[in-house]
Amino acid sequence: MTPVMSQVQADSGVLDSRVMTLGLASQVATAAIKSCADSGYQVSAVVVDRSAAVQVVMRDVFASRFTIEIAQRKANAVILSGISTSEFRKNRTDIRAEMNEVDGIMVLDGAVPIRAAGSLLGAVGVSGAPGGDKDEACARAGLESVKEQLEFIE
C-alpha cells in the first residue's frame, strides 16, 4: 500500500493492508534453510512481517544460536529501508555505522524484502553461511520458492 491515502480511506479512518500468512512465512524460511543446507551451510532464517514482528524462526541444528539474532536484525533492516540489506549497505555507506547502532538493526548482506502486489509483506534474513553474499543467496532462494504465489496476489 502506498503512503498516499485516497480521500475515502482518510475519511473512514480505516486502511486496508496485506499481511503474510504463517504458511507463506514458513515456506520462505524452510526453503532458505534448505538452500543453504544443500550448499553445506548451517544457518538460521528469520521471517518478519511488515512491522518487523517475528513470524518464523528456523535454525539448522548445527547453526550457532547467535545466527538467529543476526538474521532477525538483518530482516529488520530491510523493513527499515524497504530494500535488500546488500543494496542498503552499498547505497548508504554514509550512515551504515550509525544504523548498526540502532537497536534491532544490522546492515549486513543476507536479507531481502518479501513483496506482493506492490506491498511490502515482510522480510527474510539469513545468517550463518560463510559470507553475507551466501546468506543473501539463500534468502533469495526462500523468496523464489513462493514467487508464483506472490505473483498472483492482487
Q: Kindly report, residue by residue over 38-70, the tens digit of the pLDDT.
A: 999 999 999 999 999 999 999 999 999 999 999
Residue 5 has pLDDT above 60, yes or no: no
CATH class of the 18-151 domain in this structure:
alpha beta
| Residue type (1 letter), 130 | P
Per-residue pLDDT reduced to its tens digit, 98-154:
888 899 999 999 999 999 988 999 999 999 999 999 999 999 999 999 999 998 887
Instruction: Assess contact for 79 and 125: CB atoms under 8 A.
Output: no
Say what the pTM is: 0.89
**pLDDT band at 85; cut points 50, 70, 90:** very high
Spell out the domain ranges in the chain: 18-151
16: burial class by Cβ within 10 Å (0-12, 13-18, 19+)? exposed
Residue 28 to residues 9, 94, 146, Cα–Cα distance (Å): 32, 31, 7
SS3 category, 40: coil
Q: How far is CA 10 from the centre of its chain?
A: 29
C-beta atoms surrounding 149 within 10 Å = 13
Between helices 22-38 and 132-144, what is the axis angle to 10°? 130
